[in-house]
Amino acid sequence: MQELWSSLSQMLDAESLLKTGGIYLVLFIIFAETGLFFGFFLPGDYLLFLAGLFCSSGNLDVGITTLCLSMVGAGIAGNFVGYWFGRRAGPMLFKREDSWFFKRKYVIMAEEFYHKYGGAALVLGRFVPIIRTFAPIFAGVVRVDFRKFILYNIVGCVLWVLSLTLSGFFLGREFPQIINYLEYIVVGFIILAFLPIIIALIKRQIKSNKTKKNPVK
């Protein structure tokens, strides 16, 4: 167990990561996770939270206003790139063969999420890993009206960035000792972030099993 925690600490040493790369690394990760289809594995949610936390403790040399505005800008720009990529790539994404970083099921998952929630998927999807990456791409594939996409993009990004970053910032100011429990925070974020996906996959499997047991005649 000790070795597991040690490996986790090294792999997710966000404090060293942020101190080394600073705000520029944060902005790149946010942009890549929302704008590049292979960025789905990047740690967007807890990185926003930790950026706010480190900003409150002085470990990130930038003001909270500048931090939030720049991250909102990076997220919005990333989604625009994702939308553009979807329009250019189109149906090709559904025919693309699986690789170590791309799975067609990710695009299908985003498609199902979009059909279920409509344009709101671009807002709600910000808070769900994988969906966050592929929702704007799928919006481009189906050619969502660009003016509507702009609105959903801005609203979703503002809510995502401010809710997580300011939570970290104000918790860090009220409870400075929280920075000593980063491993637990990271694990908690990973569990919460992927819980909706796990639930969706379980529901899909249950539905598939019922269909097999009761085929339509």
pLDDT along the chain (217 residues), means of 10: 48 61 84 72 77 86 92 94 85 64 66 74 81 83 87 94 93 85 73 68 70 59
> What pLDDT, on a 0 to 100 scale, did the predictor assign at position 159?
95
Location of structure tokens 């936390």? 53
Alpha carbons 174 and 190: distance in angstroms, whole number: 23
Tell me the whole-structure pTM to 2 decimals.
Answer: 0.75
> What pLDDT, on a 0 to 100 scale, did the predictor assign at position 150?
94
Alpha carbons 63 and 20: distance in angstroms, whole number: 17
* Helices 131-141/64-89 angle, 10° precision: 50
Domain boundaries, the chain: 8-206
Helical segments of 12-145, H only: 14-35, 44-57, 64-89, 92-95, 104-117, 121-124, 131-141
Alpha carbons 21 and 94: distance in angstroms, whole number: 35
> What pLDDT, on a 0 to 100 scale, did the predictor assign at position 72?
96
> What pLDDT, on a 0 to 100 scale, did the predictor assign at position 106?
67
- Residue 40 corresponds to which amino acid? F
Alpha carbons 54 and 61: distance in angstroms, whole number: 9
Token representation of residue 47: 């990185």
